[in-house]
A = this chain, B = another copy of it.
Amino acid sequence: MVAFKFLLALSLSLLVSAAIAQTREPRLTQGQQCRFQRISGAQPSLRIQSEGGTTELWDERQEQFQCAGIVAMRSTIRPNGLSLPNYHPSPRLVYIERGQGLISIMVPGCAETYQVHRSQRTMERTEASEQQDRGSVRDLHQKVHRLRQGDIVAIPSGAAHWCYNDGSEDLVAVSINDVNHLSNQLDQKFRAFYLAGGVPRSGEQEQQARQTFHNIFRAFDAELLSEAFNVPQETIRRMQSEEEERGLIVMARERMTFVRPDEEEGEQEHRGRQLDNGLEETFCTMKFRTNVESRREADIFSRQAGRVHVVDRNKLPILKYMDLSAEKGNLYSNALVSPDWSMTGHTIVYVTRGDAQVQVVDHNGQALMNDRVNQGEMFVVPQYYTSTARAGNNGFEWVAFKTTGSPMRSPLAGYTSVIRAMPLQVITNSYQISPNQAQALKMNRGSQSFLLSPGGRRS
């Protein structure tokens, strides 16, 4: 039986990786227009209050989000809150802004490798567990992952997942859904399929959201489901009920505990394996998360300007199939980001701390944005559009989601810039400046790259 299960897991996960690999690549830009006049930092416009927390959505009809083809949301889960199991037709990339918790992303056919022998202590806390105790229930389930502040989590299209806040402060998660992703063969409307709960009926905003978040069991025939699960219809009716006060995030009746291997340390070690082994069927053991807060592992670091931590398909191989990536940046007081353009995808920036003056220009020589952005705001820098930013006096921290698994920027200033790649004569003739001026343009940022120290001081 166990052998059968593992074989099944293997063959199914072969399918999974193949399936996801197959839709890994393109982005549909259909219908989508990027001809706007103005970009600005935006706050969420819709808020759904649930028993165990809140779900906030940015307005998906805003031109900047339409152009990027994404829908952004922020979930706040209260301590002991459980975000109910659900799946969505597009890949989701999540940044854990605050708090800690547990997540399980369920892949059909992967083995239930986690085994729980419920201890006496847990039993005491559980009210309704007497009967079960007698049977000495041994629960098996799929892997549960620890979430901490600074984590980037990748949730593939169609994979059901739940999340539980086992910490003592709110768990805040900001995420984008790539509705244009090719794994979505439905239209570009944002959808979420909940396996439990449903949007509360009260409130006007909630009315809007009812279109999007619903319990899929609700419309099934109870008798048919009862037969399918081989359980009494009473159980089915509980699964179908959308209890109005509970919503999408509920409070757990007791504190939930899941046996997990010694936390985290082990996971970090597997980071090295980045190349395909020809047996991508290790999907069941694939990592869904990585952390971007570690100061040691910054990808770009400048003593004078700040640091950037990139999460791409090399760091988190599942992004190869999801064609998304993220970066966490930290800019010191008054430091700059080099003017640059993204060669490979849109950039959706969420401000996590501080503020910055951001400029975005288009190919018509018009400034689409020249604003100060503040904590909690989100904005889009479209692919190929050039942008730059200068941190305010208190510095600037951000997380950026990118609609590409292989983010690549082409900077205008600094060591790796286009200007530096040009011969002096091309620069002097292009701008009608002297060789010395051209030389200064090429060299004055010395070996600085991307992150530039404030005031133009040489490094």
A-B contact list, 6 entries, CB within 8 Å: A89-B384, A139-B424, A141-B421, A160-B418, A191-B363, A220-B386
User: Is A430's CB under 8 angstroms from B85's CB?
Assistant: yes
Residues 315-341 of chain A, each 1 if its beta carbon lies under 8 Å from chain B, else 0:
000000001000000000000101101
State the CA gap A171–B73 with chains docked (Å). Answer: 53
In A428-459, which residues have CB < 8 Å from any B CB? 428-437, 439-441, 444-445, 447, 449, 452, 454-458
State which of A25-33, A40-48, A200-208 sits at the interface with chain B.
Answer: A25-33
User: Is A361's CB under 8 angstroms from B22's CB?
Assistant: no
Q: Answer whether A26 and B25 are a contact pair too, CB < 8 Å, given A159-B343, A386-B216.
A: yes
Having A228-B445, A238-B431, one finds 17 other A-B pairs with CB under 8 Å, namely A14-B314, A15-B312, A15-B406, A19-B343, A23-B344, A23-B404, A29-B30, A104-B422, A108-B410, A109-B416, A128-B436, A192-B363, A229-B413, A230-B413, A238-B437, A250-B429, A253-B432
User: Is A365's CB under 8 angstroms from B216's CB?
Assistant: yes
- Interface-central residue, A191, A210, A403, by most chain B CB under 10 Å: A191
Which residues in B have their C-beta under 8 angstroms from that of A114?
Answer: 423
Which residues in B have their C-beta under 8 angstroms from that of A457?
Answer: 230
A71 within 8 A of B: no
Q: Answer whether A253 and B428 are a contact pair too, CB < 8 Å, given A87-B384, A359-B220, A441-B229.
A: yes
Which residues in B have their C-beta under 8 angstroms from that of A422?
Answer: 85, 104, 106, 141-142, 162
State which of A53-61, A146-154, A178-186, A290-298 sits at the interface with chain B.
Answer: A178-186
- Interface-central residue, A107, A226, A228, by most chain B CB under 10 Å: A228
User: Is A239's CB under 8 angstroms from B431's CB?
Assistant: yes
A277 → B minimal CB distance (Å): 13
Which of the residues B26, B106, B198 comes within 8 Å of A182, measured between beta carbons? B26
User: Is A364's CB under 8 angstroms from B195's CB?
Assistant: no
User: Is A436's CB under 8 angstroms from B230's CB?
Assistant: no
Closest B residue to A403 by CB, please name it: B185
A126 within 8 A of B: yes
A1 within 8 A of B: yes
State which of A93-101, A129-137, A261-269 sits at the interface with chain B.
Answer: A129-137
A366 within 8 A of B: yes
Closest B residue to A109 by CB, please name it: B416
Give the interface residue-count category, chain A.
35 or more
User: Is A132's CB under 8 angstroms from B12's CB?
Assistant: no
User: Is B383's CB under 8 angstroms from A89's CB?
Assistant: yes
User: Is B258's CB under 8 angstroms from A406's CB?
Assistant: no
A191 → B minimal CB distance (Å): 5
State the CA gap A207–B228 with chains docked (Å). Answer: 48
In A383-442, which residues have CB < 8 Å from any B CB? 383-384, 386, 388, 390, 403-413, 415-426, 428-437, 439-441
Which of the residues B68, B216, B227, B364 comes within 8 Å of A214, measured between beta carbons? B364
Which of the residues B8, B69, B230, B456 comes within 8 Å of A445, measured between beta carbons? B230
A172 within 8 A of B: no
A247 within 8 A of B: no
A197 → B minimal CB distance (Å): 7
Closest B residue to A197 by CB, please name it: B430
State the CA gap A221–B339 with chains docked (Å). Answer: 11
Which residues in B have their C-beta under 8 angstroms from that of A162?
Answer: 422, 426, 430
User: Is A29's CB under 8 angstroms from B186's CB?
Assistant: yes
**Which 3 residue pairs spanning A and B have beta carbons closest together?**
A230-B456, A19-B406, A158-B343
A286 within 8 A of B: no
User: Is A212's CB under 8 angstroms from B363's CB?
Assistant: yes
State the CA gap A18–B320 with chains docked (Å). Answer: 10
A313 within 8 A of B: yes
